[in-house]
Structure 1
């Protein structure tokens, strides 16, 4: 076990450290320039699927990108201005909204989204390496294993604000560890700035930093047990003071109005852990995991593996929080299942391997490149297949008249459950980007996004982030309102110009020839032009 939290032991006659510091062991690793080069190569490799797929098949991604487009062009687009307005507020879900429209000034919205995604990747991988540097006092090549983990089940959901927050939380904890024994104003100023920035990424992202900070301070509290308890407890409690800002920020946020929308669910806790490794193919996840476990066992048997004591407290704190965390918090789904992926990068930062043998150093580089290559190839192959519908969808959007109103519905009640369907769920939002249209599935939930729908259109879109109507529901509400309560799709032929029917079979018949005219048929979707009453 490596109990150091500083680069070296204190010099003779210096003030004792706040906790025991063990003398450094001899350690061998790749040269710094090689680690830096490997970092750039790893980043270039994981960028391949992103730069070759401007519209990646991620669930929420296109919906978020459409909101970025609206924010950027709203003052200059009369059609979008007719449908939408931006209502800036203190919302813990804003990082992408703040950055991407600015990037869009220098490029197009698709490239801006790609740049933002690669910023997330660089921040997570760099944050993992920085945290290891703060814990062990040196850079290490082992943390380059963060690259094959960047593509994971949480990323496929397209929660882009939270994903940026993972990298920021790693950097925040690295800064706290590095500044822990420095003058306190610097430490608390940095921590406060990170807490505020993380709040605007996502509440769970701020919580990830809180988990890491609590674990680190618990470790210090335990390691300093030979000293007086009162000052140690005071320092322990004071470490959490920057998080006091979250309370006033939440009270000033419309998100507080969603505080009652929470529920806990025991099923899915194991799945949340699986999301760390599993992307599309189970056998790829098993193979990559087996390689890491086998390499770890080999390094441990040869006494080359060293683990920072932070690992134990981190797993205890994170495990307790994960089990207690609700599935939905403040109307945010998968609140608990997002945690394991972020903690995995912190865990990786606590591991050190002595690559004293030349064969071990070369072998590590080979294994790293193979792992990154396999993961990138997995994503690239699947995305090449899935984005065939992307081309079809963009072609179909070309048949939509600018400034139209578009209703999204499902033909299959089980649509979207397969991971390969994720990119189709919000693809209709391309009509917002390409045709300045109103789309019913655009994220416009008060307290979760800053995009609002203007009257009189607000009653004809989903403002609750729910599931689109099934085909049968549309047919029932065609001429009369829903009997058990108003729905935004009631009397839809009067309110919409087009209907996207998702998760269809090729050649599926027109479900309502009196009200719908087929405009385009693609892979797993159909676009219909609405025949208005009396038309």
Structure 2
């Protein structure tokens, strides 16, 4: 069955992109090149990857929300066998979890370098996978290499990336490659197609359950497109359509055997925030930068359409319909994972780019595309670099505060402002206290140790003193009322905290804020938006 590469404008001639063959692959291009030559696309890819890497390379600890928490777990995995302080607090419980890719990759890299560099390498690997996957899927759909998917590079920094969901981000790149291989093998002998797709599904499961879902959305859209355009008896076509779901069957036994299944009832649907999820595709720190970049892309697309240079694969319509329906129906919390629905638009944006091709046979079009791409990426990288340079002030200050903590200490994290962390510029502080796990082998209450989500576990008697539900840290007012007795409506991990902790990090404070509890807290360090206190333990009663 043929797969058509349809031009954006009906009057565009099919020869612009090459007619589709009977096997669903585009015919070889004309002698006159329709796009940049392969070596120039490869060089431009390398140049863009080098440019997009600048903020990551120059900031070993990027101000991403969950990133340092994940990095601390990587450090525990690597250090556990020969670090007695770490071993006193933590242990690992390996199991079938849809959230393991970083746990398997980063500790291996850490054997060759330090943990911060290992994190940087992993982040850049995510970038390369997503950009390379977009490029490869475009090649599979159109039958020729195209430079247009390189527009994926300015989108690598987005609102979801700022959250630091690194396993899911790795999975987006693999999902793009998975669909690319399905397209390339669709009209080849079926065993290879199903074998390769099943392997991708299994690996995607261990990246993140949502990443496997992203591949499912892309595959469903592609098969709907084939079904819509197919010829011949409807029965065999429907059978082939239904059989495309077979590679996803291993997810069922793996999920049932996973402790993650215990979280299957923790789902919450929220109508608010759907628009925010779409905005996260282009908006990072400054609204005016997102608006400018969007306007440039739309303007360039309109110019290309006017000159009949922009072509859209027939996959685009079913992709947008399927992804839109899934996005509207998807809960905000799935398997106790927050922002489940808002993660989808960012991934789909790369699939959309893969379904577009520009005719760059004219020298003006080629030069114009290269200039616009580099400018877009330079603006995005400049935005991130400027903000990260500014936020690095708290990174340096936080590292200085951690250096004052005694090794093997127990650290409690609390909030001075319940709304802290909502501003993108505050995200880097949310889990910054986990630096004490890396630098001082400390117990930190906010470390990710949730059954069904991570492999990290806490030994008794410390387990009841840490957050095992991935909740919000207590406010300082809650600490004050539980200083000598437990919480009235049930036990909390911060109850009678002066007996159980050595230090308290108070986040989202104002500089010069007074000591909230001078009887139990001794000031140690004050930085921008945080304070570190040493706990004054209660005096033991006379015997």
**Is this a same-fold pair by TM over 0.5?**
yes
Match of residue 179 from structure 1: 185
* 2:204 counterpart (198, 202, 207): 198
C-alpha contact 2:26 2:143 (8 A) present in aligned 1: no
Match of residue 348 from structure 1: 353
> Can you list the C-alpha shifts for 1:356-382, whole angstroms capped at 9, x where unaligned?
221111111111110000000000000
Match of residue 14 from structure 2: none
Match of residue 35 from structure 1: 41
Match of residue 75 from structure 1: 81
Match of residue 90 from structure 1: 96
C-alpha contact 2:225 2:318 (8 A) present in aligned 1: yes
Note the C-alpha offset of 1:32: 1.2
Match of residue 278 from structure 1: 283
Match of residue 111 from structure 2: 105
Cα distance between partner residues in 2 of 1:360 and 1:194: 37
Note the C-alpha offset of 1:9: 4.6
Note the C-alpha offset of 1:28: 1.4
Does 2:394 correspond to 1:393? no
C-alpha contact 1:408 1:428 (8 A) present in aligned 2: yes
SS of the counterpart of 2:292?
Answer: helix
1:118-129 correspondence to structure 2 within 5 Å: 118-129=124-135
| Cα distance, 1:174–1:320 mapped onto 2, change above 3 Å | same
* 1:210 counterpart (213, 216, 223): 216
SS of the counterpart of 1:519?
Answer: strand
| Cα distance, 1:393–1:21 mapped onto 2, change above 3 Å | closer
C-alpha contact 1:355 1:361 (8 A) present in aligned 2: yes
Cα distance between partner residues in 1 of 2:18 and 2:253: 38
Match of residue 388 from structure 2: 383
Does 2:485 correspond to 1:480? yes
Match of residue 300 from structure 1: 305
C-alpha contact 2:28 2:143 (8 A) present in aligned 1: no
Cα distance between partner residues in 1 of 2:84 and 2:28: 67
SS of the counterpart of 1:339?
Answer: helix
C-alpha contact 2:18 2:26 (8 A) present in aligned 1: no
Does 2:385 correspond to 1:370? no
Match of residue 65 from structure 1: 71
C-alpha contact 2:4 2:20 (8 A) present in aligned 1: no
C-alpha contact 2:27 2:143 (8 A) present in aligned 1: no
SS of the counterpart of 2:342?
Answer: coil
Cα distance between partner residues in 2 of 1:48 and 1:9: 40
Cα distance between partner residues in 1 of 2:420 and 2:465: 22
Cα distance between partner residues in 1 of 2:234 and 2:425: 55
C-alpha contact 1:4 1:22 (8 A) present in aligned 2: no
Match of residue 252 from structure 1: 257
Note the C-alpha offset of 1:387: 1.2
1:335-484 correspondence to structure 2 within 5 Å: 335-484=340-489
* 2:150 counterpart (144, 153, 164): 144
SS of the counterpart of 1:387?
Answer: helix
SS of the counterpart of 1:338?
Answer: helix
* 1:526 counterpart (524, 531, 536): 531
Cα distance between partner residues in 1 of 2:153 and 2:237: 38
> Can you list the C-alpha shifts for 1:190-232, whole angstroms capped at 9, x where unaligned?
10000000000111100000000000001111111x3111111
Cα distance between partner residues in 2 of 1:267 and 1:483: 33
Note the C-alpha offset of 1:7: 7.8
C-alpha contact 1:2 1:309 (8 A) present in aligned 2: yes
SS of the counterpart of 1:235?
Answer: helix
> Can you list the C-alpha shifts for 1:37-93, whole angstroms capped at 9, x where unaligned?
100000000000000000000000000000000001100000000000000010000
C-alpha contact 1:408 1:500 (8 A) present in aligned 2: yes
C-alpha contact 2:311 2:357 (8 A) present in aligned 1: yes
| Cα distance, 1:231–1:2 mapped onto 2, change above 3 Å | closer
| Cα distance, 1:45–1:82 mapped onto 2, change above 3 Å | same
> Can you list the C-alpha shifts for 1:400-447, whole angstroms capped at 9, x where unaligned?
000000000001121111110000000000000000000000000000
Cα distance between partner residues in 2 of 1:470 and 1:428: 16
C-alpha contact 2:409 2:442 (8 A) present in aligned 1: yes
| Cα distance, 1:21–1:508 mapped onto 2, change above 3 Å | closer
Cα distance between partner residues in 2 of 1:67 and 1:375: 30
Cα distance between partner residues in 2 of 1:400 and 1:329: 37
C-alpha contact 1:9 1:23 (8 A) present in aligned 2: no
C-alpha contact 2:97 2:454 (8 A) present in aligned 1: yes
Work out the number of aligned pairs and report it. 528
Structure 1 stretches lacking a partner, 5+ long: 11-15
C-alpha contact 1:3 1:22 (8 A) present in aligned 2: no
